[in-house]
Amino acid sequence: MTSRDTTTKALPTPLLLLMAVATGISVASNYYAQPLLHTIAARLDLTWSGAGIIVTTAQLGYAAGLLLLVPLGDMIERRRLVVTMMLLATLGLVVSALSTNLAVLLLGTAITGVFSVVAQVLVPFAATLAAPEQRGRAVGTVMSGLLIGILLARTFAGVLSTLGNWRLVYMVAAALMLITTLLLWRALPRLTTHAGLGYVALIRSVGTLLTTHPALRLRAALGALTFALFAAFWTPVAFLLSSPPWRFSDATIGLLGLLGAAGALVAPWAGRQVDRGRARLTTTSGLILLLLGWLPLLGAEHSLMAIVAGVLVLDIAVQLVHITNLNMVYRIDPDARNRLNAAYMVSYFLGGATGSLASAWLYGHTGWTGVAVFGIAISLAGIVIWWRGYRHEANLFA
């Protein structure tokens, strides 16, 4: 049962854009460390593999939050949930900024990771507020904010680290999060959806949804592989670009995120294609582009153009698959959108954590070539899974 304190049937554009910005700012908090890993490693006397644990901790924290907190959107009032989670994520950023050793930095990273899943409460919130014929566009717009946040986090972090130091990045991020929280408190409508379950049963039902819906399992598997590939590029690329022959600064490495942000423009378009019944086309195109994006990256150690081409193609591909995944997952059961989102996004970020950890290890032991071969292999696996599994979805939505 869903109740709300507004009679508006269409999601107002200013509110939609604010939700997109809030989603980007909250999810960005998990990615500030990526272009700074070599700097943090030097300041805290860490190996490259050890520094990679920072990114993995953020993503595992995010996965834990997805499983334990996002389903609460089907149980308690959402505006209050959003504001509380953003305040706690802000606290995590402050802890990271004040850390003097790896243990405290990992604690702050974990707190931020767990509560920055507020982004995944805002996405189904937007889907619920939007009129049915605008739902794909609304999800695409909010997810554009999410991807822009992920990508521009690197640029933001690189520039601020160069102007000040890596701690400044976290302090400014905390201030932005707090300001956004206040704006959401004033702008969001009250909305309560109650699944009629207690908390333990609610969390358990996330697993039940996975076991009973083949289409959800298919999209969860594709999401995990997609984000594994995304993380497999972005985690070790700072190590590559800070080494010979490039020797780029934090700010220069961060600028690479600007190239990837172009892919966010694809998200609203992908949502509209799903609204028009072209989910199979966007999924297939995205998976093929993921493979094509990794091919030039085989030469990334010697060609900056290969890196540029790879970034552009990879980020467009990730958007195509991910936006389609979310829209198809939300269609499975409109009354369980937060739990469906939790099931999908737990898989998504477990894939990202695995990609981060594996690519950091591969870079340390085999160099960039091992990372690129890993990316190509996982891309091929995604195509095979889609080829073998899309019929489940075709039967569900026939």
Q: Give residue-wise pLDDT tens across range 314-337.
A: 988 988 999 899 889 988 887 788
Mean pLDDT of the chain: 86
Mean pLDDT over 282-307 rounds to 94
Q: Please, which residues bridge with residue 3 across strands?
A: 192
Closest C-alpha to 220, from 61, 310, 340: 340
By CB atoms closer than 10 A (0-12, 13-18, 19+), residue 47 is exposed
Q: Please, which residues bridge with residue 191 across strands?
A: 4
Q: Is residue 32 part of a domain?
A: yes
What pTM does this model have?
0.75
Q: Residue 293: enclosing H or E segment and its boundaries? A: helix 279-294
Which pLDDT does position 8 carry in this prediction? 42
Alpha-carbon torsion angle 327, 330, 332, 337, nearest 10? 170
pLDDT at 396 over 60: no
- Does residue 35 have a cis bond before it (omega within 30 degrees)? no
Domains in the chain: how many in total? 1
Mean pLDDT over 226-240 rounds to 90
Token digits of residue 285 = 């195109």
Q: Is residue 5 part of a domain?
A: no
CATH code: domain of residue 40: 1.20.1250.20
Q: Is residue 240 part of a domain?
A: yes
Percent of the chain at pLDDT > 90 equals: 44
The CB-side HSE value for 307 (13 A sphere, CA atoms) comes to: 20
Q: Is residue 6 part of a domain?
A: no
Q: Is residue 60 part of a domain?
A: yes
Q: Is residue 389 part of a domain?
A: yes
**How many other C-beta atoms can be found within 10 angstroms of the C-beta atom of residue 10?**
12
Q: Please, which residues bridge with residue 193 across strands?
A: 2
Q: Is residue 292 part of a domain?
A: yes
**How many other C-beta atoms can be found within 10 angstroms of the C-beta atom of residue 68?**
16
Mean pLDDT over 369-387 rounds to 96
Q: What are phi and psi for residue 242, nearest 5 degrees?
A: -90, -5
Which pLDDT does position 345 carry in this prediction? 86
pLDDT at 395 over 70: no
- Angle, CA of 233, 50 and 376, to the nearest 5°: 25
Q: Is residue 324 part of a domain?
A: yes
| Complete DSSP assignment for 2-48 | EEES---SS--HHHHHHHHHHHHHHHHTTTTTGGGHHHHHHHHT--H
| Per-residue pLDDT tens over the stretch 1-32 | 444 444 345 688 899 999 999 999 999 998 88
Which pLDDT does position 284 carry in this prediction? 95
Helix locations, 213-278, DSSP H: 214-234, 237-241, 250-261, 266-275
pLDDT at 71 over 90: no
What residue numbers bound the domain in which 235 lies? Answer: 14-396
Q: Provide the sign of the torsion angle of the four alpha carbons 325, 271, 23, 192, taken in this order.
A: negative
| Complete DSSP assignment for 311-378 | HHHHHHHHHHHHHHHHHHHHTT-GGGHHHHHHHHHHHHHHHHHHHHHHHHHHHHHH-HHHHHHHHHHH
Mean pLDDT over 365-387 rounds to 96
